Structure 1
Amino acid sequence: MIRFVFSFFGAIFTAVTLGIAMVAITVGGVFWMYGRDLPSHESLAQYRPPTISRIYSGKGQLIDEFAKERRLFAPADQIPDLVKQAFISAEDKSFYTHQGFDLRGIAAAGFEAVKSRGENIRGASTITQQVMKNFLLSSDRTAERKIKELILASRVEKALDKEKILELYLNEIFLGQNSYGVAAAAQTYYNKTLTELTPAEAAYLAALAQRPGNLHPVRQMDAAVARRNYVLREMNENGYLSEAEMREGQETPLRTVQNGDFEGFRTVLPPRSYFTDEIRRQLSEDSDFRDEISRQTGRRFQDGEFFTGGFTVRATIDEEMQVIAEQALRRQLEKYDRDRGIWHGTYETLPAESLTDEATWREALANVDVPRDIELDGLWRPAVVLEVGSNDARIGIEGVETDADGHWIPANDVTWARKRNEDGSLARRAQVAGDLLGVGDVVLVRAMTRDDDGAFIRWTLRQVSEVQGGFMAMDVNTGRVISMQGGFSYQDSVFNRATQAQRQPGSSFKPFVYAAALDSGYSPATIVVDAPIEIDTPQGLWRPRNSTNKFYGPTPLRTGIEQSRNLMTIRLAQEIGMDVVAGYAERFGVYNNMGSYLANSLGSEETTLYRMVAAYAMFANGGERVTPTLVDRIQDRFGRTIYRHDKRTCADCSTPDLRPGMAPRIVSNRSRVMDAITAYQLTSMMKGVVDRGTASGVINLPVPIAGKTGTTNSARDVWFIGFSSNVVAGCYIGFDRPRSLGRGAYGSSMCGPVFQEFMTEAIKKFGGGPFAVPPGGHFIKIDRYTGARLPDDMSGPFVVAEYFRDGWEPIFGLAYDGGFAMGSNLPLFEEVAQNSGRQVTTSTGNTVTVGPKADFGTVSSGGLY
């Protein structure tokens, strides 16, 4: 009997042993099979999660951010213990003791799944396993993925310490509202840093780890509060919170940005602007700027890296001057638009069913895509027309409470405009609000106030101008762009007309012709014949003209640029050679490859305002190359500088015996684009443009200003670019689809006021002074009308002191005609004036002059004035 008992239990023991061995072999085989081709866990040690790139102003203010996934990277040593404890309590309470997986948790989850016959399946993944799933595996709910997860978790626990694993988890996890990682989530939900979180707030973030889409603080508040309180209870049981702290947290209402309890972090950010978007464009697209960063870092700047690299970008923008630039350009564009008197509104209309009550129309209006970033004499607000009366129209305004009397657009606010009919014709000038507005129309309005005390008068209609433009200002010595405006409103049109619009510069290109001439041996006193020209071209006979349709005979170079004489410029370009002119334009960066056509000397080839302003800066700084930049410095996520614009060296910064009060020497490494004396001569001539030439009467500033106007044929594009001793600024205005701006549109009359308004404030902030006279020359007084030399003691409006190189005595009285024949059949200016049009009587009985039919000479000659 005893033998039988031993034999029976021996058989059972053998079977159990063999069974265990078989299970062990089977499990080992499964783990070996799935563990052969797993991704390397070692890459986690070098993993850099995609994080937000942020742009800061020169004063350190956050002005924009860009990211594919909104994540702020937080190293483990900068994540407070409270936050770590909340997530550990919610997701993996044995995190610090297990070896990557929790067998007890897996068994409990398996038992519960069997007991519920598969209806109640809960996860049993540790934080380490979740890191493996998020970084190295997929999210498939399969046994194969779970086995791989266990294998990798055990491996990574041996390769990385617990804090590193927790760092990866807390920076990668998605917590709803496009927030990845705990730092971004704290900002999204509370507008706080991690160190500012309370236990209740940390617990809610940890609660979101389980199901972020189902615990919204507003839509699923009850579920969110319940899960938050569960996490607080777990934190108490794990010894992280006292009983009193737990109860205090559970009794605290769920207060978040989404509930309106905190101001959202996005409200602190200014609206996205042309300036920051241009930084984004230059860093995310192939550009010379990216190539420069690659040269400085020694590695290729990858596509899309800006959106994932966590860069800190220090922009060159001066926020105060940026506001001035925006206002100045908008003011001129709106003035032109209202002078045209054509109403187009926003082209948006709300359906009638959305106007039934205030809550409905406010919700509908909030979803309409109209610009909300316009500030000009007050904030422009979206509004909807609720009722049109016999004279006035009642409106509802976004962000403004409706009072008992309502808000109204009176009849006298619309009399400036005419509405365009469906056939394209213009209706009669509006007399009542209903002539422009219909019920449901979405419009823009601003509050009209009194100038003396700012008291409210009434609401007035506004609209985004159809004519557009660009403005840019930069430091002439460093190339730092201090302001840039690419249109009327970024939210209305993201196309940046300062950097992307290719337009004819017109006469604003002429300084490059004169620069080439001055460097070729000409002087400001050189005489060039201002007389008719005719050129036989494949397109026909070209007879360019001055804008006055007059010719002035032999004239000094100075007067030619001051009065923007087209014929003198063409003769000069022909004399020195268009290949020389093209070389200068390319050297200054105006063009990459300029065509050597005479019409291009008048600015008929297209370029950008960005390039033109940068080129003018080289005139202002004495002829040294300067590269425009919107960025001072870029640092990576670890604070290492990977790009620095200013490459000058400080020769004395490390000198210990530098005398008190003595500034260290800054050594410039800029190359020279043109001779310093040439740069001063040209600057002096362009100062004459402002003092008595085409820009006189518009520019009136307390420091010396030089510049040049530009107006192309039919006034399709108008320009003014000017500079003081330290700041250069330029303006361009025109329709996006080029067409005439109409009579009276000139660079001086349209862009001049923009420059004047901006530079008035820029001079107050940055100062200015006389243009520096380079060594190596001397002054000689000449008659600016005839070019004749005058005695040194002469003075008067016709006397100008020109700067000449030492050792080079100019020849006075020699005139250049460019080699053009003076044909006897070419019209004199009287004939041109007489034949420029004919008088006709209109249907209203008025007499007007209409021009002749356009020919090749009138449509292709580039700049006019």
Structure 2
Amino acid sequence: MDKVKIHQILNSVWLWMKHYKWLTITMTAMFLLAWLGYLFIIFGGRFVFDEKAVILPTASSVVAEDGTVLGKLYTENRDYVTLDQIPDHVEEAFIAMEDKRFYEHAGISFPAVARAVYRDIIAMSKVEGGGSTITQQLAKNLFLVNDKTWMRKTKEVMASVYLERNYTKSQILELYLNEIYLAHGIYGIGTAADYYFGKNIEELSVEEGALLAALVKAPNTYTPHHDLEKAKNRRNLVLQQMANNDNISTEDMLDMQTTSIEVQAQQEEREPWLDDYFAYVLAETEEVYDLSREALKRGGYTIEVNMDPTIQKIAYEQMQKSDFFHGSNDAVDGSFILMEQTTGNLQALIAGRDFQLNDINHVITKKQPGSVIKPLAVYGPAMQLGNYLPYDLIPDQDINYDGYRVGNADDNYEEEVTLYQAVVESKNAPAVWILDQIGIEYSKSILEKMKINISDSGLAMALGGLETGLDPIQITEGYRTFIHHGEWIEARSIDAILDRDQEKVQPKERETKSVFNSQTSWNMLRMLEAVVEEGTGEAGGLRKSLSR
């Protein structure tokens, strides 16, 4: 083409543009606006995307060895499951019902983009279009649930494009199936599988997966706990869609549509005998594992505990019996602790007769220990010195210690008794005399080895007259030294904590101390057995082993 022809063509175009000037300007403006809108949607998603929102809050569970769930903590009741765990037919049910072209599109369709731009930018309308893809539903639920602005639909499209550009289809589907709300405070299909059917996600049948997919559009409307007929009709529609997508045969669809819906009944109240142990576990997670309640509510931790459910339940039931509480009023209360002596693990904890979460927890409440402190603060330390043996004679007299006097419970004195007899009969005067001989500071140094730190400096300490007292856990840890060769170990309710990736969370190092030698602990153990068999503890005697 020569220069003359080119010049003629350009001149013709120029003349046309001059003749249709306003049409040309309008078309150019529309083209630029469309192009800018397209770029805005494609690349603006990063400003809508929130990385923190993609990390779904997952419930933490406290679980005993036999699978008993003591409780859960969560902001959203969600048990996260991976796509590998989810059966193919469950995935297919959701895709068939919600977005059959999920694996073909780029998160949105161009008509949807055009509608969004028109409504938001031009018409400034808040009307929502139907037919959202799975990616769009996920984007809306993750990033825009509280967004009521006129740009919400456009933001949804922008975020969807961003997700598709930065996440695989499998990652998007996994997030979606774990994020969706399925009625009754349930989030995600992992939690829903357990709630509705009492099953792990891997065990769901085609019909059960179809029912969960049926809930997405209106969970509170289609839940079988509210309207069984609506739920069945909606489930059958999902099965029809699966057949249309060749996920199941027509024959199988017809057979499945005739089956009734069977869901497990829901217990309205939790088991009260679990609360006591659960409360202690929550405190231990913070102290030993440095995990706050807020972290547990979002982190998806599995807390494996040392509780024996059978013993815990029996202990709770026994604590309800008024025969064991001969108090002057109905407010009399108590606590119960069972420690496995070899490991120091706590197998049962009762924090009160009618304990509920956030009530006074008697397991960790410091109170005056009374005569329970004598073996720990007086007789154990005395024998540890090597100057006293069980059958040594010690004074049993009314002595004035610079103005401090103490009497025996029966107000009788025998002048001299053996140390063994003083323990068995829980005599006060000999205990105070021993403490005066061995020294208060020495006694406190022994107690400190057992994490019992007291500020008291008077002889009343021998009888448990303390300013702040001791809690039952401290006493249990202390008494464990006598059955375990004088070794003190920190009590633990938690066996292990696993994070959402099933990796162990490292606790603080568990403390142990050698407090008494083997001879002292053996002597003290034999005397304590005699207390129960023939002494002041006879009323609470057991025919079985005193340790566990």
Q: TM-score range by the shorter chain?
A: 0.7 to 0.9
Aligned match for 1:170, one of 151, 167, 177: 177
Aligned match for 2:73, one of 66, 84, 96: 66
Aligned match for 2:462, one of 601, 606, 629: 601
Aligned match for 2:335, one of 460, 470, 476: 470
Give distance in 2, aligned partners of 1:699 and 1:684: 14
Query: Residue 19 and residue 95 in structure 1: after superposition, are their counterparts in 2 closer, same or farther (change >3 A)?
Result: same
Aligned match for 2:299, one of 298, 303, 309: 309
RMSD: 3.8
**1:506 Cα deviation (Å)?**
0.7
Give distance in 2, aligned partners of 1:242 and 1:283: 54
Contact conserved, 1:133 with 1:139, CA < 8 A, in 2? no
Contact conserved, 1:633 with 1:645, CA < 8 A, in 2? no
Map of 1:742 onto structure 2: none
Map of 2:102 onto structure 1: 95
Aligned partner of residue 165 in structure 2, secondary structure: helix
Query: Residue 121 and residue 604 in structure 1: after superposition, are their counterparts in 2 closer, same or farther (change >3 A)?
Result: same
Map of 2:476 onto structure 1: 613
Aligned partner of residue 59 in structure 1, secondary structure: coil
Map of 1:573 onto structure 2: 435
Contact conserved, 1:629 with 1:645, CA < 8 A, in 2? no
Contact conserved, 1:137 with 1:149, CA < 8 A, in 2? yes
Query: Residue 171 and residue 10 in structure 1: after superposition, are their counterparts in 2 closer, same or farther (change >3 A)?
Result: farther
Aligned match for 1:681, one of 523, 533, 536: 523
Give distance in 2, aligned partners of 1:50 and 1:249: 35
Map of 1:321 onto structure 2: 311
**1:510 Cα deviation (Å)?**
0.4
Aligned match for 2:365, one of 501, 504, 513: 501
Give distance in 2, aligned partners of 1:700 and 1:212: 55
Give distance in 2, aligned partners of 1:623 and 1:104: 79
Instruction: State percent identity of aligned pairs.
Output: 27
Give distance in 1, aligned partners of 2:173 and 2:42: 27
**1:163 Cα deviation (Å)?**
0.5
**1:175 Cα deviation (Å)?**
1.2
**1:473 Cα deviation (Å)?**
1.4
Aligned match for 1:204, one of 211, 217, 229: 211
Aligned residue identity for 2:34 = A
Whether 1:281 and 2:144 are equivalent positions in the alignment is no
Query: Residue 235 and residue 67 in structure 1: after superposition, are their counterparts in 2 closer, same or farther (change >3 A)?
Result: same
**Superposed CA offset, 1:466-487 (max 9, x none):** 4221111112221012222222
Contact conserved, 1:38 with 1:148, CA < 8 A, in 2? yes
Aligned partner of residue 308 in structure 1, secondary structure: helix
Map of 1:545 onto structure 2: 407
**Superposed CA offset, 1:775-833 (max 9, x none):** xxxxxxxxxxxxxxxxxxxxxxxxxxxxxxxxxxxxxxxxxxxxxxxxxxxxxxxxxxx
Q: Which has the higher contact order (CA 8 A, sep 6+)?
A: 2
**1:600 Cα deviation (Å)?**
1.6
Aligned residue identity for 2:334 = G
Contact conserved, 1:508 with 1:603, CA < 8 A, in 2? yes
Give distance in 1, aligned partners of 2:199 and 2:527: 57
Query: Residue 222 and residue 482 in structure 1: after superposition, are their counterparts in 2 closer, same or farther (change >3 A)?
Result: closer
Query: Residue 633 and residue 75 in structure 1: after superposition, are their counterparts in 2 closer, same or farther (change >3 A)?
Result: same
**1:20 Cα deviation (Å)?**
4.1
Give distance in 1, aligned partners of 2:436 and 2:126: 89
Contact conserved, 2:181 with 2:219, CA < 8 A, in 1? yes
**1:141 Cα deviation (Å)?**
4.1
Give distance in 2, aligned partners of 1:509 and 1:325: 24
Aligned residue identity for 2:371 = S
Contact conserved, 2:276 with 2:350, CA < 8 A, in 1? yes
Query: Residue 112 and residue 466 in structure 1: after superposition, are their counterparts in 2 closer, same or farther (change >3 A)?
Result: same
Query: Residue 112 and residue 18 in structure 1: after superposition, are their counterparts in 2 closer, same or farther (change >3 A)?
Result: closer
Aligned residue identity for 1:500 = I
Aligned residue identity for 1:625 = W
Contact conserved, 2:277 with 2:349, CA < 8 A, in 1? no
**1:270 Cα deviation (Å)?**
4.8
Aligned partner of residue 304 in structure 1, secondary structure: helix
**Superposed CA offset, 1:369-416 (max 9, x none):** xxxxxxxxxxxxxxxxxxxxxxxxxxxxxxxxxxxxxxxxxxxxxxxx
Contact conserved, 1:273 with 1:490, CA < 8 A, in 2? no
Give distance in 1, aligned partners of 2:394 and 2:528: 17
**1:70 Cα deviation (Å)?**
1.5
**1:121 Cα deviation (Å)?**
4.3
Give distance in 1, aligned partners of 2:42 and 2:317: 70
Matches within 5 A, 1:12-161: 14=24, 17-27=27-37, 30-31=40-41, 34=44, 37-39=47-49, 47-105=54-112, 121-161=128-168
Contact conserved, 1:204 with 1:228, CA < 8 A, in 2? yes
Give distance in 2, aligned partners of 1:107 and 1:611: 70
In structure 2, the gaps of 5 or more residues are: 1-11
Matches within 5 A, 1:763-778: none
**1:303 Cα deviation (Å)?**
4.1
Matches within 5 A, 1:825-864: none
Q: TM-score, normalised by structure 1?
A: 0.55
Aligned match for 2:497, one of 634, 637, 649: 634
More displaced stretch, 683-692 vs 72-81: 683-692
Aligned match for 1:558, one of 414, 420, 424: 420
Map of 2:224 onto structure 1: 217
**Superposed CA offset, 1:628-663 (max 9, x none):** 11122222222222257998xxxxxxxxxxxxxxxx
Richer in helix (by share): 2
Give distance in 1, aligned partners of 2:192 and 2:341: 43
Give distance in 1, aligned partners of 2:46 and 2:300: 35
Query: Residue 199 and residue 519 in structure 1: after superposition, are their counterparts in 2 closer, same or farther (change >3 A)?
Result: closer
**1:676 Cα deviation (Å)?**
2.0
Aligned partner of residue 210 in structure 1, secondary structure: coil
**1:134 Cα deviation (Å)?**
2.7
Map of 1:243 onto structure 2: 250
**Superposed CA offset, 1:522-552 (max 9, x none):** 212443322113356xxxx543210011122
**1:682 Cα deviation (Å)?**
2.2
Contact conserved, 1:478 with 1:646, CA < 8 A, in 2? no
Aligned partner of residue 349 in structure 2, secondary structure: strand
Aligned residue identity for 1:527 = L
Aligned partner of residue 304 in structure 2, secondary structure: strand
Aligned residue identity for 1:485 = I
Give distance in 1, aligned partners of 2:65 and 2:542: 30
Query: Residue 302 and residue 270 in structure 1: after superposition, are their counterparts in 2 closer, same or farther (change >3 A)?
Result: closer
Give distance in 2, aligned partners of 1:226 and 1:601: 75
Aligned residue identity for 2:37 = V
Matches within 5 A, 1:223-302: 223-253=230-260, 255-257=261-263, 262-264=264-266, 266=267, 270-283=271-284, 286-287=286-287, 289=288, 293-294=289-290, 301-302=291-292
**1:177 Cα deviation (Å)?**
0.5
Give distance in 1, aligned partners of 2:508 and 2:323: 36
Aligned residue identity for 1:311 = Y
Aligned residue identity for 1:523 = Y
Contact conserved, 1:52 with 1:307, CA < 8 A, in 2? yes
**1:584 Cα deviation (Å)?**
1.9
Give distance in 2, aligned partners of 1:511 and 1:98: 76
Aligned partner of residue 313 in structure 1, secondary structure: strand
Query: Residue 9 and residue 166 in structure 1: after superposition, are their counterparts in 2 closer, same or farther (change >3 A)?
Result: farther
Give distance in 2, aligned partners of 1:593 and 1:250: 71
**1:109 Cα deviation (Å)?**
8.6
Give distance in 2, aligned partners of 1:275 and 1:336: 19
Contact conserved, 1:529 with 1:553, CA < 8 A, in 2? yes
Aligned residue identity for 1:559 = Q
